[in-house]
Every structure is written in C-alpha cells, then in structure tokens.
Amino acid sequence: MAKAWVLHDIGDIRFEDVEVPVPGEKEVLVKVKAVGICGSDIPRIYETGAHKMPLIPGHEFSGVIEKVGVGVSGDLAGKRVAVFPKIPCGKCERCQKGEHDLCLNYDYSGSRRDGAFAEYVSVPASNVMELPSEVSFEEGAMTEPLAVAANAVRTGCAGLDANDSNTKIAVCGMGTIGLMVVMLLKGMGFSNVYVIGNKDSHPAKALDLGIDSLHYCDVRSDDPVAWLKQNTGGVSVYFECVGSNDSIRYGLEAGAPKGKLVFVGNPKSDMYFSRDTYWEILRKQLHIIGIWNSTYREEGADITTVQAGANIDCSCPSSTAGVLDDWHYVRDLLSAGKIHPAKLISHKLPLADLDKGLYIMRDKTEDYCKIMICP
C-alpha cells in the first residue's frame, strides 16, 4: 500500500491508503520525489471537480522510475525523470504532425487519470524525460509550468530581435507563470520588459528577476493602459497571465499596431470585449494567440518533427535550439544554469500536509508563489 490524496467529490479530498499502481503495457511506475500545486488544482478540487472521480490530482511532478511495464526497456529503471502530463492519442492529424500539444483526444495525469499527489504514479514511458544530475527534483517538477511559459515566450517572440530597442514587451500577472515568462524573457536578453502586478510583494519579485521600479506598474495606484502607453508608446508583445477581462483589455488598448497578445492565464470568468476594445483589434490589426500547453517530443524522437511555431533560438545552449520542443528546451536551460526557477518556491511541504498548501492557495491566507510537495 501507499499514501495518496484522493479527490472523491468536489471539496472532498482525503489522505488515504491506496494500492501501488501497476504499470501497464508501455508504462512505468514513478516514485514521486516532488510535485507542485498548480493554480488549476484549486478550482479542480474545490469548485468544478475532475473529469472523473475518485481521482488523485497533481500534474507538475518529477521522480525516479521504480518499475517498468511490458514493452519498456529495463534500462529506464532508476532514471531520474520529469513527466509530461498530457497523454496525446497519437492517432489524430495533429499528433501525426508532431503537434501533441494540440491533440484534443488526450488523457491527462491529474485530471483525467490518477496523478502525482501520491507516493507513486504510473505514466506512459513515452512521457518521461530524463533529468540531468545537476537538475534537482524540485526544478524537474517545475518543468511543466516552465514549458508552458516557454511555449508562450517562444511563440510570442518568434522573429523578434532581443537587441532591438523598439521591441517593448509587457507581462501582466505575477503568479508562477507570469514570473516564469519574465525569467525567460530576461534570459533571452530582452531589456524593455514591463511588468504589471497588484500585491505588496510583487515589486521585490520583479526586481529579483531584473525588472527595475521604472518598469513595474502597480494596478492599485496606476492605470496600466495609460502607464504602458506613456512608457512604451505601444506594446510589441503583451503576455496576459491572469485570465481576467481587465488584464486582457490592458493589452488590447496598449498594444502597438500589428502587436501580439499572448493569452496564457486560465479564465477566471466569462470573457468579453466591449465594442470600443474590439475596435482596437480591428484598427491595429492585432494578433491574438492562445497558449494552453507545451510542445513535447518523446526522448530520442526526430527533433525535426516538432511544431514549427516553436522555432526560435531564445539563447538556448543547444545548437539545435531552433527545433527543440519546449520540454527539452527548458531542460537545456536548467542544465546550463541559465534559469533558476527554484527561487520561485515559497513553500515546501511533506505529502501529508498537502491540504495546508491547498488552503493557502484557496483562501489566500499568506503570500505564496510555488508551493512544492516533497513526498
């Protein structure tokens, strides 16, 4: 037997004994070493429920392969890995093109099948990515949100020159994804990065990532649209990492002609445009891009099959950075020490105290960034 947090119904999650999963054909059993709580876990557990219940949530994780199933090389046993949670069907048109992030017939660890708020989880062998020894399990567990941020940045900044002073980039939202977007942008060499936050702790977090006070806007005291227009003259790329009507409006109204708006934040409510704001899209010919997941290829796969939308160097240490999927791109950055996401971890809790982390995020009882569970 093993321990896991099982979601039985909306708001009913229990720490209990479960059977250790048996890896099926082409699957591996992973002993979880670190798992992050994602912002999406809160509504899943307390508001909407999972796609099926009972279910073990948790999709940002890393660990060690303890056992392999039929059809899997025994050489994988003992490997330190991060796990891509989306399990594409492998058969649809998008999958055949290597665009697994766009598959609509997918399974998903932590929302459609048992995830990693547990001591053990069984996953497809094709979804594990080996971690270099210099990358910690905590950093490995942060690969999933980092890869989403990388997908947003690589897509939104494709074709842009980081050294061009006319390129003005804004990031709205200082949660985990927003901070990771800023971290990646600064790592790419973009200097004209403007950040919008709304908490007392945000200026210090921005400064820690290289954003000075002149490039930080507090929505509680400044109008973000007026502030962006005054400081940028029009935003080349705007990353919306909140998921609110207001934060979308800021980007639409402050966007430069033919600017890009990259929507990354999960919506907090129904989304809508006023007529005047909609005119901004038409008159400026703005490009709106949605980002939900990240690109991933199986270890050893032909990198030339990765979706073309990710083709941008982004100062990746690999000579093949232009065609690396987001997951291996992030792994390269972590391995080379070019990004340091562990600084975003505000809390580390044992598995038995997962509920404390959930309450902190649900009730906003204290400031937090990434809450990491270490079974």
Is the CB of residue 295 less than 8 Å from the CB of residue 101? yes
Q: Euclidean distance between the first and final Cα of the chain, in Å?
A: 15
**Model pTM?**
0.93
Residue 323: its pLDDT value, please? 65
Per-residue pLDDT tens for 286-344?
A: 999 999 999 998 876 554 333 333 333 444 433 334 468 999 999 999 999 999 999 99
Residue 314: its pLDDT value, please? 45
Question: Highest mean pLDDT range out of 126-130, 188-192, 302-306?
Answer: 126-130
Residue 74: its pLDDT value, please? 95
Structure-token pair, residue 48: 């909407």
Centroid of chain to Cα 23: 26
Mean model confidence pLDDT for the chain: 92
CA nearest neighbour of 119 among 73, 58, 53: 58
CA nearest neighbour of 263 among 243, 277, 234, 280: 243
Per-residue pLDDT tens for 3-62?
A: 999 999 999 999 999 999 999 999 999 999 999 999 999 999 999 999 999 999 999 999
Q: Which residues does 150 contact at the CB level (< 8 Å), separation at least 6?
A: 184, 294, 314, 326, 329, 330
Residue 92: its pLDDT value, please? 94
Instruction: Return phi, psi of residue 131, to 5°.
Output: -100, 130
Q: What percent of the chain has pLDDT over 70?
A: 94
Residue 306: its pLDDT value, please? 37
Transcribe 309-342 into DSSP letters: GG---TT-SSTTGGG--HHHHHHHHHHTTS--GG
What span, in angstroms and rounded, lies between the C-alpha atoms of 106 and 122? 16
Q: What percent of the chain has pLDDT over 90?
A: 86
Angle at 288 between CA 280 and CA 214, to 5 degrees: 75
Higher-pLDDT residue of 58, 271:
58
Residue 301: its pLDDT value, please? 58
Q: Is the peptide bond before 54 cis (omega within 30 degrees of 0)?
A: yes
H/E run at residue 122: strand 120-124
Q: Which of 75-84, 103-112, 254-263, 304-313 has the lowest mean pLDDT?
A: 304-313
Averaged pLDDT for residues 161-168:
92
Taken in order 38, 40, 43, 46, the sign of the CA dihedral is negative
Residue 269: its pLDDT value, please? 85
Q: Which region holds residue 346: left if phi is over 0, alpha if psi is between -120 and 50, else beta?
A: alpha
Per-residue pLDDT tens for 300-315?
A: 655 433 333 333 344 4
Averaged pLDDT for residues 352-359:
98
Residue 297: its pLDDT value, please? 87
Longest dimension (CA), the chain: 62
Which domains are assigned to the chain? 2-141+340-373 (3.90.180.10), 149-290 (3.40.50.720)
Work out the pLDDT band at 98, boundaries 50, 70, 90. Answer: confident
Averaged pLDDT for residues 187-192:
92
Give me the residue label for tokens 């942008």: 185
Q: Which residues does 291 contact at the CB level (< 8 Å), separation at least 6?
A: 148, 151, 152, 155, 262, 263, 264
Angle at 285 between CA 281 and CA 287, to 5 degrees: 80
Give the orientation angle of helix 143-156 with respect to helix 326-335, to 10 degrees: 110
Give me the residue label for tokens 């947090």: 5
**DSSP β-ladder status, 255-263 and 287-290:** parallel
Q: Which residues does 364 contact at the CB level (< 8 Å), separation at least 6?
A: none
Give me the residue label for tokens 């210099």: 134
